[in-house]
């Protein structure tokens, strides 16, 4: 028996859990499933398995009013709902390509359920997959396990997501646009009616396209954003060499051109996280497999990798050697307002400095538990900014948490041994340091050569 407007979500990572919570907050009944039992039990108790502003309130309400139900067996949800949304992970394989094993295993599960289902069902793939996956292997698995014909007996769409960690709820409830790659008009209209229920009068622009274009839109979107950041980081290096150079001013100047736009032009230590690095590697492989050269993707990755090296060399120049030096790293998450340290530039910086013989103390306002998982035993994990700065020869701001703006010469003087501060996220007001004994080096601002 099907419930009205009900959805099953398979895979409760960032995208899955936020999608489930947002849909249920608008009165849609959501069954959610994941292979990780700990995650399921947290959600069942209304506890969010991830740190994400606004998510836990939505979850708790949805669980309490019965709009969000955890299912151990995905078939329990699929048989009672009209849509299944797949949001399982597609991590990198060693050659950079996307590992689709979780996607295919979900397709098998859904296919088996479809076999005995008498009602219409729409399968919505939302995991990031290489172009051709939806209408190729994914559809084949669904058809062979269900014994049914896609389009005729069930609907199928690829529907990329564009939510950012740290603002995932807001991005899901108010997206710039919705991209629906549908196998046929009917499937597209069916998915659109789910979005109408979610967004009601505020339905954003909808782009209906083929599944293959929609798959490529997702990769191209992330690659373009990463390219913008690497571009401004390239300009940033030049600004450091030019008296009066300031990359924020350049970014504001070019960003005011509507054709360029002001977003993703914040220079700094570079991009990280669970999406950009993985998706750029995968897109690079897709180009190579198509016999094409991924020039801009290569340059985008190279510049980003170089940012960590850039800061290391700066420190080495200022401290003469890294060996035996104590470096305080402020920030570990791949960006502010998240506890996620996956492929974080701050963590890469810590590892790089450790390899050069430095000792590291690191502090992050939210990511302590995750830092201990990736760096435990190798660094000192501080519980406060003060503890992190204790006896440091140099300090580096590696994640732009607003709390680091409060650093002043007075505060640093009390704790630090050395006088070198590198603001690798451009959040400190240089005026505060103007007449102090500290040497504040801001990535992307002119750096006077070292006073001997
Ligand atoms: C990114 C995309 O922005 C989302 O649209 C997409 O849905 C998501 O990947 C995904 O594929 O799931 P996210 O990784 O959460 O979202 O974070 P972003 O806000 O895009 O930041 C990525 C990295 O770029 C961070 O390390 C951030 O510090 C850095 N960044 C961002 C900059 O260095 N400069 C900027 O101007 C913007």
With a 6 Å cutoff on the Cβ, whether 275 touches ligand 1 is: yes
Question: In terms of DSSP bridges, do strands 155-158 and 122-125 run parallel, antiparallel, or are they unpaired?
Answer: parallel
Q: Is residue 90 a contact partner of residue 130, using CB atoms and an 8 Å limit?
A: no
Q: What is the pTM of this model?
A: 0.96
How many CA atoms within 13 Å lie on the side-chain side of 351?
Answer: 10
pLDDT at residue 335 above 80? Answer: yes
Closest Cα to atom 37 of ligand 1: 264
Q: What is the pLDDT of residues 137-191, one digit of tens each?
A: 999 999 999 999 999 999 999 999 999 999 999 999 999 999 999 999 999 999 9
What was the pLDDT predicted at 94? 95
pLDDT at residue 76 above 70? Answer: yes
With a 6 Å cutoff on the Cβ, whether 265 touches ligand 1 is: yes
Percent of the chain with pLDDT over 90: 96
Q: What is the pLDDT of residues 339-392, one digit of tens each?
A: 999 999 999 999 999 999 999 999 999 999 999 999 989 999 999 999 999 999
Closest Cα to atom 3 of ligand 1: 164
Burial readout 216-255 (b: 16 or more C-beta within 10 A, e: otherwise): bbbbeebbebbbbbbbbbbbbbebbeeeebbbbebbeebb
pLDDT at residue 291 above 90? Answer: yes
What was the pLDDT predicted at 448? 87
Alpha-carbon distance 266 to 176, whole Å? Answer: 20
**Element (DSSP H or E) covering residue 83:** strand 83-86
Q: What is the pLDDT of residues 219-229, one digit of tens each?
A: 999 999 999 99
From 129, 225, 252, 303, the mutation candidate for ligand 1 (largest count of ligand atoms within 8 A of CB) is 225
- For 330, which DSSP code? E
What was the pLDDT predicted at 3? 52
pLDDT at residue 12 above 70? Answer: yes
Q: What is the pLDDT of residues 82-140, one digit of tens each?
A: 999 999 999 999 999 999 999 999 999 999 999 999 999 999 999 999 999 999 999 99
85 contacts: CB under 8 Å, gap ≥ 6: 7, 8, 9, 10, 16, 19, 124, 126, 159
Nearest to 217 by CA among 189, 176, 267, 184: 176
From 264, 332, 344, the mutation candidate for ligand 1 (largest count of ligand atoms within 8 A of CB) is 264
Q: Which residues are catalytic?
A: 275
Q: What is the pLDDT of residues 307-322, one digit of tens each?
A: 999 999 999 999 999 9
CA gyration radius for the chain? 24
Alpha-carbon distance 7 to 84, whole Å? Answer: 6
With a 6 Å cutoff on the Cβ, whether 273 touches ligand 1 is: yes
Q: Which residue has the tokens 């897109």?
A: 283
The mean per-residue pLDDT over the stretch 290-313 comes to 98
Alpha-carbon distance 347 to 399, whole Å? Answer: 10
What was the pLDDT predicted at 50? 87
pLDDT at residue 450 above 90? Answer: no
With a 6 Å cutoff on the Cβ, whether 111 touches ligand 1 is: no
From 276, 306, 343, 401, the mutation candidate for ligand 1 (largest count of ligand atoms within 8 A of CB) is 276
Nearest to 274 by CA among 229, 338, 340: 340
Could you tell me the pLDDT band of residue 2, with boundaries at 50, 70 and 90?
low
Q: Which residue has the tokens 């590697």?
A: 281
Nearest to 105 by CA among 34, 23, 179: 34
What was the pLDDT predicted at 449? 81
What was the pLDDT predicted at 452? 52
How many CA atoms within 13 Å lie on the side-chain side of 59?
Answer: 26
Angle at 121 between CA 4 and CA 124, to 5 degrees: 105
Q: Which residue has the tokens 């580096």?
A: 396
What was the pLDDT predicted at 51? 84
């Amino acid at each position: 028996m099907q419930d009205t407007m009900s959805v099953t979500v398979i895979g409760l990572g960032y995208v899955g859990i936020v999608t489930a919570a947002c849909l249920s907050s608008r009165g849609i009944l959501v069954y959610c499933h994941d292979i990780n039992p700990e995650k399921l039990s947290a959600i069942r108790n209304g506890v969010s398995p991830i740190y994400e502003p606004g998510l836990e309130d939505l979850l708790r309400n949805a669980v309490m009013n019965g709009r969000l139900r955890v299912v151990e067996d995905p078939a329990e949800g699929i048989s009672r709902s009209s849509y299944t949304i797949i949001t399982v992970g597609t991590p990198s394989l060693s050659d950079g390509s996307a590992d689709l094993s979780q996607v295919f295993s979900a397709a098998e599960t859904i296919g088996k359920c479809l076999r005995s289902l008498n009602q219409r069902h729409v399968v919505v793939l939302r995991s990031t997959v290489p172009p051709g996956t939806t209408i190729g292997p994914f559809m084949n698995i669904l058809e062979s396990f269900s014994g049914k014909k896609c389009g005729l007996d069930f609907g199928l769409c690829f529907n990329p997501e564009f939510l950012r960690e740290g603002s995932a709820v807001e991005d899901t409830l108010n997206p710039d646009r919705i991209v629906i790659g549908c196998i046929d008009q009917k499937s597209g209209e069916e998915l659109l009616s789910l979005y109408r229920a979610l967004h009601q009068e505020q339905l954003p622009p909808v782009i209906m396209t083929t599944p293959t274009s929609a798959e490529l839109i997702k990769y191209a979107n992330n690659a373009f954003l990463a390219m913008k950041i690497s571009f401004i980081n390239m300009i940033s290096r030049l600004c450091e060499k030019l008296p009066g150079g300031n990359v924020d001013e350049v970014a504001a100047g070019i960003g005011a051109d509507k054709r360029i736009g002001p977003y993703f032009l914040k220079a700094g230590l570079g991009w990280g996280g669970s999406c950009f690095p993985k998706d750029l590697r995968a897109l690079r492989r897709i180009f190579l497999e198509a016999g094409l050269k991924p020039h801009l993707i290569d340059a985008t990755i190279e510049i980003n990798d170089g940012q960590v090296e850039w800061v290391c060399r700066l420190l080495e120049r200022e401290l003469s050697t890294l060996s035996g030096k104590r470096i305080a790293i402020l920030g570990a998450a791949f960006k502010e307002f998240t506890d996620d340290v996956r492929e974080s530039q701050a963590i890469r910086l810590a590892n790089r400095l450790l390899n050069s013989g430095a000792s590291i103390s690191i502090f992050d306002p939210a990511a302590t538990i995750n830092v201990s998982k990736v760096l435990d035993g190798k660094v000192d994990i501080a519980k406060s900014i003060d503890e992190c700065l204790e006896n440091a020869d140099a300090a580096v701001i590696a994640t732009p948490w607003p709390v680091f703006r409060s650093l002043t010469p007075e505060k640093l003087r009390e704790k630090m041994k050395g006088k070198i501060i590198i603001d690798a996220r451009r959040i400190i007001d240089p005026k505060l340091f103007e007449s102090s004994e500290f040497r504040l080096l801001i990535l992307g601002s002119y750096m006077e050569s070292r006073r001997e």
